[in-house]
Amino acid sequence: MTKTTDPKKIDPCTLVLFGASGNLSRVKLMPSLFRLDAAGRLPEQMAILSVGRGEVTREAWLADIKGMLDAKFKKGYDQTVFERFIARNHYHANAPTDADAFTKMKANLADEKVFPQNLAYFLSVRPVDFAPVVEQLSGVGLLDETNHWRRVVIEKPFGTDLASAQALQASITKHLKESQIYRIDHYLGKSALQNIMLQRFTNTLLEPIWNKDFIDHVQITNTEMLGVGERTQFYDSTGALRDMIQSHILQTMALTAMELPKDLSPDSIRAEKIKVLEAIRPIPVADLKHNAFRAQYATGEVQGEKVPGYLEELGDKTSVVETYAALKLFVDNPRWQGVPFYIRTAKRLHDADTRISIRFKKSALQLAGGTEQNWLMLGIQPRECIKMEIQSKIPGLDIKTRTIQMDAANRQDGDESIDAYEALLLNLMEGDNSLYLHISEVEAQWRLVDPVVKAWAVDKAPVCQYPAGSADPETSKVIFEHEDQFWRYSIELGGDKH
Q: Minimal distance in Å, beta carbon 67 to ligand BG6?
A: 23
Nearer to ligand BG6 among residue 224 and residue 384 (C-beta):
224
Q: Is 322 among the residues that bind ligand BG6 (CB under 6 A)?
A: no
Question: How many residues does this entry show for the chain?
Answer: 498
Quick check: helix, strand or coil at residue 353? Answer: strand
Q: Which of residues 197-226 bind ligand BG6 (CB under 6 A)?
A: 224
Nearer to ligand BG6 among residue 264 and residue 352 (C-beta):
352
Q: Name the residue number minimizing CB distance to ligand BG6.
A: 243
One-letter amino acid for residue 328 of the chain: K
- What DSSP state is assigned to residue 470? B
Q: Which of 90, 92, 186, 248 is catalytic?
A: 248
Check whether the bond before 127 is cis (ω within 30° of 0): no
Q: Which residues contact 356 (CB under 8 A, 6 or more apart)?
A: 196, 218, 219, 220, 252, 256, 377, 378, 380
Q: Respond yes or no: is residue 498 known to be catalytic.
A: no
Q: Which of residues 118-177 bind ligand BG6 (CB under 6 A)?
A: 156
Size of the site for ligand BG6 (CB under 6 A): 3
- Please say whether the beta carbons of 442 and 254 come within 8 A: no
Residue 366 burial class via C-beta count within 10 angstroms: exposed 0-12, middle 13-18, buried 19 and up: exposed
Nearer to ligand BG6 among residue 119 and residue 196 (C-beta):
196
Q: Which residue spans within 62-175 are E strands per DSSP?
A: 89-93, 118-123, 150-154
Q: How far is CA 471 from each of CA 217, 341, 355, rounded to the nearest angstrom?
A: 20, 20, 16
Q: Minimal distance in Å, beta carbon 330 to ligand BG6?
A: 26
Nearer to ligand BG6 among residue 158 and residue 480 (C-beta):
158
Please state the three-class secondary structure of 253-315 as a single string.
HHHHHCCCCCCCCHHHHHHHHHHHHHCECCCCHHHHHHCEEEEEEECEEECCEEECCHHHHHC
The binding track of 238-257 with respect to ligand BG6, each residue x by CB under 6 A or -, is: -----x--------------
Q: Minimal distance in Å, beta carbon 244 to ligand BG6?
A: 6
Q: Minimal distance in Å, beta carbon 156 to ligand BG6?
A: 6
Q: Minimal distance in Å, beta carbon 224 to ligand BG6?
A: 6
Nearer to ligand BG6 among residue 224 and residue 422 (C-beta):
224
Q: Minimal distance in Å, beta carbon 186 to ligand BG6?
A: 6
State the Cα–Cα distance between residues 249 and 187, nearest whole angstrom: 9
Nearer to ligand BG6 among residue 23 and residue 268 (C-beta):
23
Binding site for ligand BG6 (CB under 6 A): 156, 224, 243
> What is the set of active-site residues?
248
